[in-house]
């Protein structure tokens, strides 16, 4: 399982990478524009923050074949372990096929059905990003991803699912349960997964008992 952070906030990436095993960062045009930073600044901060083995995913903006392919080449040249996110429009699927023929790293994005994801996998996409929360607005998003896990395994396709678009921790939990190989999650949702109020209360109880008995807050004198 790979856990990616869906964010343009390099500081959040740094803090969570110190706390958890983070495989890399995904962004999309909305995340970057909402950050209030330029694309150049986001790229620069991420390149400085990520370790060489952590992956980065930037999404193409062009919507024509040549433009998508050129942006894919430039995104993949940014650093080691750089991937281009290409939406699975008809022209996007054509660009995914061409990009993989060139050996470029590709994540197929804006996926709303298992069938779309499967077709992108047949074109060689390295990662497939079903938009789980958005899919749930149209039907059984979790079931679609469960189907996709089986479809890839049955057909021996090596593409990894990178489940995306989460609004709560339960959706992330469901993706891990159905066997998605990776998830990309906003930092605030990851922190919600980390911090359970019960754990804090339990630690406070242990500390209080220890201090009452031994008069100190460390194990050894
Ligand atoms: C992944 O990188 C996707 O772009 C992202 O998770 C979409 O999330 P949203 O549905 O919250 O926009």
Segment 62-91 shows an average pLDDT of 98
Q: What is the pLDDT of residue 204?
A: 98
Atom 7 of ligand 1, residue of closest alpha carbon: 165
Domains and CATH numbers, the chain: 2-195 (3.20.20.70)
Task: Kindly give the distance from the C-alpha atom of residue 150 to the centroid of ligand 1, in angstroms, as a whole number.
Answer: 23
Q: Is 220 helix (H, G, I), strand (E, B) or coil?
A: coil
> How many percent of the chain have pLDDT more than 90?
100
State the ipTM, two decimals.
0.96
Atom 5 of ligand 1, residue of closest alpha carbon: 165
Q: What is the pLDDT of residue 105?
A: 98
CA distance 178 to 140: 13
CA distance 8 to 20: 18
Give yes or no for a contact between 161 and 144, defined as CB atoms under 8 angstroms apart: no
Q: What is the pLDDT of residue 182?
A: 98
Segment 138-161 shows an average pLDDT of 98
pTM of the model: 0.97
Q: What is the pLDDT of residue 21?
A: 98
Strands (E), the chain: 2-6, 24-26, 55-59, 82-87, 106-111, 127-130, 160-163, 182-185
Task: Kindly give the distance from the C-alpha atom of residue 210 to the centroid of ligand 1, in angstroms, as a whole number.
Answer: 45
Atom 11 of ligand 1, residue of closest alpha carbon: 165
Residue 96 pLDDT level (bands cut at 50, 70, 90):
very high
Ligand 1 pocket test target in 2, 6, 109 with most atoms within 8 Å of CB: 6
Q: What is the pLDDT of residue 99?
A: 98
**At 47, phi and psi to the nearest 5?**
-65, -35
């Amino acid at each position: 399982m790979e856990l990616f952070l869906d964010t343009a906030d390099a500081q959040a990436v740094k803090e969570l990478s110190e706390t958890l095993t983070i495989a890399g960062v995904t962004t999309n045009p909305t995340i970057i524009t909402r950050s209030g930073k330029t694309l150049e600044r986001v790229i620069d901060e991420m390149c400085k923050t990520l370790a060489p083995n952590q992956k980065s995913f930037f999404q193409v903006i062009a919507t024509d074949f040549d433009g998508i392919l050129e942006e894919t080449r430039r995104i993949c040249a940014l650093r080691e372990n750089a991937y281009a996110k290409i939406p699975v429009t008809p022209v996007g699927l054509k660009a995914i096929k061409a990009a993989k023929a060139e050996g470029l790293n590709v994540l197929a994005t804006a996926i709303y059905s298992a069938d779309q994801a499967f077709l992108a996998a047949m074109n060689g996409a390295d990662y497939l990003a079903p938009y789980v929360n958005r899919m749930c607005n149209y039907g059984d998003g979790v079931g679609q991803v469960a189907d996709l896990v089986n479809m890839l395994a049955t057909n021996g396709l090596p593409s990894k699912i990178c489940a995306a678009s989460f609004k709560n921790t339960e959706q992330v939990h469901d993706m891990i349960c159905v066997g998605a190989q990776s998830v990309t999650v906003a930092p605030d949702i990851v922190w919600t997964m980390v911090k359970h109020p019960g754990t804090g209360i339990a630690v406070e109880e242990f500390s209080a008992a220890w201090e009452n008995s031994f008069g100190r807050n460390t194990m050894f004198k």
